[in-house]
A = this chain, B = another copy of it.
């Protein structure tokens, strides 16, 4: 670096001001008296949480100041602010005492009606559009969509259940609540309920503090004590609640990294991810609206799926949306076959002709009544392609999408062949499936089959969608999808030759413990 020391220093200062997202309005906004009360004790007790908040825009700009920006530059979406929120910072009290009557976990604390669990209802005071959109996002229904689906519950029990090997028999019982909260529900969301108040000795004296079930949790579909769904802190981490942090792929990686939904890993090995990693520190993640080619030069997750994007002249390329499925014609993961996106974010009532709670048949045909139609798919495809076209020429975009949709078809075809191998095993009595009213996830061969689509076919589609081909071949993709099929085919032949005639081969059965008997009866099975 040949710049003079002086220029470097000055550049660095401005760099940090720009990059760390610290608004220059600093110093003006005052805390409410209630928040000052909170800080007087909690400042010393929880320096991490308070320090985090001090770095936030909430701590530095009043909502009234935020409203003075031109509409397109606003981070608040309300037309009219509640009077009590307008003219001081958004501090501890503003969130933890708002809507006190709606929160079942509200408790009296040094003269304030406080609740621990801040919910989207509280955020909606300033950000109502985002909360409303998020309610249409399938993520807000992630709890119910999981626990009210009998097939998913079979799968969860097979994965998380309590196993015991007794007298030569393998028995599985339902996972206990803590196990569920520590696994699936960590991302999907727990049910947070007030169990009661409990007296505790603290450094500040004896206090009655609430006991909460399902806590802590920041899952996207958390069922809050006020009945609302979701946690804005899933993506806008407490207590900075940053827009810039949510725009970085690290946030999405918390739930979208595993082999069931490897979006982050595939992004990381894509050209987009490469450019992000190399250029991240020069981008402006806090700018609203987000100017393509200026604030950023390659997309992050949020760029394509959420953010308000404009070009140099401020013309809108994409509107902000917390619904996210707005630009998604296909649902490519989490289920046996890809299919058009579901119409409703609440998919607990989906059922196929075979009676299974699936949006496709076991042979792949979509159950159209629950899914968006071709016209809606085209509209969503077009919305996403407008973003592609902001960087890429028409030929590029058409070529990419043509390949992606080809890969949806071919990956589903491999899954169909794999499913037919398993169906043959079910028919021959080499494994027990829907016809025997048995779980389709509780035998080794069934779990192998599930990996074929839940991990591998899934990854193949993601890698096509997001241009991370390396992942979709060798990491956990076509290699493994086809290897699994070959292995299942060999297993079928060996088992067939072993002359197994019993309904369920010895050794592959898993006996359900008492906890699961009821649930199993509730599962509608193919007739």
Contacts and interface: CB of A to CB of B under 8 A. Distances in A.
A471 B187 CA distance: 11
Contacts of A443: 486, 490
A44 B27 CA distance: 38
Contact of A49 (B187, B269, B392): B392
Interface in A473-497: 473-475, 477-479, 482-483, 485-487, 489-494, 496-497
Contacts of A493: 505-508
Contacts of A210: 395
Given A50-B293, A395-B116, A251 B274 contact: yes
The range of chain A's interface size is 35 or more
A256 B274 CA distance: 12
Nearest to A390: B48
A471 B258 contact: yes
A349 to B, nearest CB: 26
A457 to B, nearest CB: 12
A188 to B, nearest CB: 10
Interface string A162-194: 111100101000011011011110110000000
A8 B12 contact: no
A352 to B, nearest CB: 21
B24 A475 contact: no
A292 B47 CA distance: 6
B48 A297 contact: yes
Which of A5, A15, A48, A505 counts the most chain B CB atoms within 10 A?
Answer: A48
This chain: how many copies in the complex? 3
Nearest to A234: B271
B200 A52 contact: no
Given A274-B251, A391-B46, A482 B4 contact: no
A2 B26 contact: yes
B417 A212 contact: no
Interface stretch (A80-88, A136-144, A397-405): A397-405
Contact of A47 (B10, B178, B312): B312
A406 interface: yes
A437 interface: no
Contacts of A391: 46-49, 52
A45 B387 CA distance: 11
25 contacts: A1-B26, A1-B60, A8-B17, A8-B26, A11-B14, A12-B14, A14-B14, A20-B281, A45-B389, A47-B291, A47-B391, A116-B395, A160-B478, A161-B482, A165-B418, A181-B403, A182-B472, A237-B271, A256-B470, A260-B474, A443-B490, A444-B490, A490-B507, A492-B507, A496-B507
Ordered nearest first, which 9 A-B pairs have the shortest CB separation? A493-B507, A51-B293, A48-B391, A11-B14, A186-B469, A258-B474, A47-B311, A178-B406, A20-B282
Given A209-B394, A447-B486, 7 more contacts: A1-B54, A44-B312, A54-B293, A240-B275, A253-B268, A444-B486, A447-B483
